[in-house]
Amino acid sequence: MQRNLDRIRLANLRLLIGEAGSADALARTTGTSGAYLSQIRSGTPYKSGRSRRMGDNLAAKLERATGKPLGWMDEPHAAGPGLGAADPTGDLSPWSSGGLCPLISWVQAGAWTEAPAFPDAEARINCPVRCGPDTFALRVRGESMEPQFREGDLIFVDPAVPPGNRSYVVVRRGDGSGAATFKQLIEEDGRRYLKAANPHWPRPIVEADADAAVCGVVVFRGSAVPDGVNARPAQPSG
C-alpha cells in the first residue's frame, strides 16, 4: 500500500510542478526548497541509499499552499476527458528500457499509441532524470516555444506523467491530420488551450481540439553545447 501511495504522491507532485511552471516556483509557494522537491520528483536516494519519498507533513503542506482539499495528494487525479492522463499508480521505473529512451521523429510522435514501440528510432539516449518505461525523446522544431525551448533542443516526453495546467506537453492533434505538436497546456474554466511560449508567434494560444490526445509530458530538456564552446584556447608559444 505504501508503495502505491508513494507513486500517487509522486505523480501529484509532478502535476503541481507542472501547474506552477517549475519546482522552484512551487517551492516559493510552499516555503520549501526547490532542490528538495526536484530530488523527490527524480527519485534521488539519500546517502544511505534509502529511496527519497514524500512524507505526510510535506504532502499536507503542498495541499494547503496550492489550495487543494485535505487528502488530495493521496488520490490519483486524471486530467479529464479528451486530453487524457495516464494512471499515476502505474510503474515509474528509474529508466526506460535498458536505461535508454528512443529518439524519434515528429511523424512517429503523431502515430503515438498507448503502448508505444519505436523500432525505427533514430537513436537511443539516456534520460538524465527518473522517468517511465515508455519515455521517448524528440528534437524541438521551429521557434514557437522560444525562448524556453530552442530549435534542436532535446525534450524527453513521459506518457506516464499526468498532464496538468501549465504542463509542457506533446499533443497529437484531433483534426485527423495525425500531426503532433509541442505546446504548453492551459486549463481555464473547463476548457483546454495549447499555448506557444513565443509571445510573437502568430497564434500564441489556440483551443485544443476535442479529440486531441496528450502523448506525454516533458520531464527534461537538454541542449547541445555549440561547436567551439569547449575548445581550449591556444597557448602562446615561447
- CATH code of the domain covering residue 140: 2.10.109.10
Number of other CB atoms surrounding residue 43 within 10 Å: 17
Helix (H, G, I), strand (E, B) or coil at 172: strand
What's the pLDDT tens digit per position in 163-216?
Answer: 888 889 999 887 777 788 999 999 888 889 999 999 899 999 999 888 888 888
Examine residue 85 and state whether it is found in any structural domain, yes or no.
no
- Note whether 168 and 182 are within 8 A (CB): yes
What type of residue is 99?
Answer: G
Q: Is residue 102 located within the same domain as residue 216?
A: yes
Q: Which residues pair with 205 in a beta bridge?
A: 195
My answer on whether 213 and 101 are in the same domain is yes
37 contacts: CB under 8 Å, gap ≥ 6: 13, 17, 23, 26, 27
Does residue 139 belong to any structural domain of this protein?
Answer: yes
Same domain as 120, residue 218: yes
Count of domains observed in the chain: 2
Q: What is the pLDDT of residues 143-156, one digit of tens each?
A: 999 988 889 999 99
> Residue 163 sits in which domain range?
97-222
- For the chain, which ranges sit under pLDDT 50? 1, 79-98, 115, 228-238
Q: Is the pTM of this model over 0.75?
A: no
